[in-house]
A = this chain, B = another copy of it.
């Protein structure tokens, strides 16, 4: 039984009737883990850290440098260079709606947003901090931060590395883009999307895209529903090896989840990506090798579903995917301590 089918059956087995719908409008907030409850003060602190370049070792980079909320939530680059000038090996994804993921990184190696952030801060190709103590010491030297951490995380060790990641995660969970045209359509406004988009929706279903890209975030199960946090929804990519795309876009040069687990079954396995705001987040795929949405769709149909889409189908699916672009909330630049 294919993994896709198992996932769908799991969904169907849920007693909640709503769960039978393959898609669902985006809620205002993703599930909040009990270990990191959301308070306005914690979110505000996380937002400051998100936009503060002192969180990077060289002081030249913020979270927003690569996950740019002004630019669709990513940096529109294939690969990004970190604070130390070292280029990463995988494309920076958008952070809009990542709170709906159950695992993090392209290979799903982090079981929580907090764990993913903790790794980002220390990565030599990202924020470049040499160790946890350096980061904590840096923040501790800023009086305003010290006071805020004491308030947000009362008790001993209020300014610990874990709390830095918790504050950042709290802010990032607020990065949600609701009310896109397709969400409005799902909510009952049948005029919210064009006829082309509606055709594209049907083509999307018929082609089989929805087998993996379904549910709230168009990336399969969300935390607390069918999957728990830390459980990933993975697929082979490419599913059919041997197309011209393998070489053209170097699809076989990164072994994906195999690099995490060493399990042969995980060769070329990747976390299923969200399609929300996909029209704003080119270039595409783990290596950022595909520049246009059209080519990305053509490639996916071929490598995943062994199908060739004609020009009309492609154009319709693009029209549909564009309705997955949500309302980007206003982001007010924080005042830093």
Identify the A interface with B (CB < 8 A): 48, 51-53, 59-61, 65, 68-71, 75, 77, 81, 85, 328, 330-336
Contacts and interface: CB of A to CB of B under 8 A. Distances in A.
A53 B333 CA distance: 16
B70 A334 contact: yes
Most buried by B among A52, A61, A65, A77: A65
A333 B331 contact: yes
A70 B336 contact: yes
Contacts of A70: 48, 51-52, 333-336
Contacts of A336: 68, 70-71
Interface centre among A61, A70, A332 (most CB of B within 10 A): A70
Q: How many copies does the complex hold?
A: 2
A67 to B, nearest CB: 12
Contacts of A51: 70
B331 A332 contact: yes
A53 B74 CA distance: 12
Contacts of A330: 332-333
A335 B73 CA distance: 10
A273 to B, nearest CB: 22
Contacts of A333: 69-70, 330-333
A331 B70 CA distance: 13
Contacts of A59: 77
Contact of A328 (B75, B331, B335): B335
